[in-house]
A and B are shown apart, each in its own frame.
Chain A
Amino acid sequence: QKEVEQNSGPLSVPEGAIASLNCTYSDRGSQSFFWYRQYSGKSPELIMFIYSNGDKEDGRFTAQLNKASQYVSLLIRDSQPSDSATYLCAVNGIQGAQKLVFGQGTRLTINP
């Protein structure tokens, strides 16, 4: 079983709509959960992270965490073409280790 799983996409969303990105993880003891955006050939750029169950909002972005279901999601409201990128879910604390374990990423395209 993969430690962090994401749908690789591509996910296509019209401009102005809500983009929903999902991620599941295998280790129930995982501590914190990160969403990064990565443009082609560039480094991961932190969008936000969450470590408590529930929702966390930052501007147009909302992260949702459900530890019972081992599920974390990212919602992007009012999607813009500049949001087109690969979104990486990363989990810290798998098997107690202090390091990030990444999913394979979801490629998101926002269509004007």
Chain B
Amino acid sequence: EPEVTQTPSHQVTQMGQEVILRCVPISNHLYFYWYRQILGQKVEFLVSFYNNEISEKSEIFDDQFSVERPDGSNFTLKIRSTKLEDSAMYFCASRQGTGGAYGYTFGSGTRLTVV
């Protein structure tokens, strides 16, 4: 069964450093998403991406964050100048289409720890 692949599985970074989280969505999917989950809290939407541009972003997704699809297969989330409160699990998801009949497939996540 096709999978969404995320790397790395765990990243530790110092506060103030930049990190790039990588995702390879399912090949025939067109809609891409980043979510995060702070330990013990609910899964929160960060950003959606379609046709090489951001479709929607949440209040969390401020100027510190950016997304890119550099080569037609990878989908990246960059966090500039990380803060302690950025420590969370980050999940990439993809979807083949919109509308009620299409599910969202999540990757295995990247655990980001900011120290």
A residues within 8 Å of B by Cβ? Answer: 31-32, 34, 36, 41-46, 49, 51-52, 88, 90, 92-93, 97-105
- Whether A99 pairs with B33 at a CB distance below 8 angstroms is yes
The interface size bin for chain B is 20 to 34
A-B contact count (CB 8 A): 61
Could you say which residues of chain B place their CB within 8 Å of the CB of A31?
Answer: 99-100
* Contact call A102/B42, Cβ cutoff below 8 A: yes
Contacts known (A99-B33, A102-B43, A104-B42); A43 close to B100, Cβ less than 8 A? no
B82, CB-defined interface residue at 8 Å:
no
- B79-108 to A contact mask, C-beta < 8 Å, 1/0: 000000000010101000011110111111
Residues of A contacting B91 in the complex (Cβ-Cβ under 8 angstroms): 43-44
Which of A41, A46, A93, A97 makes the CB contact (< 8 A) with B104? Answer: A46
Contacts of B31 in A (CB 8 A): 98
Q: Determine the residue in chain B with the shortest Cβ distance to A88.
A: B43
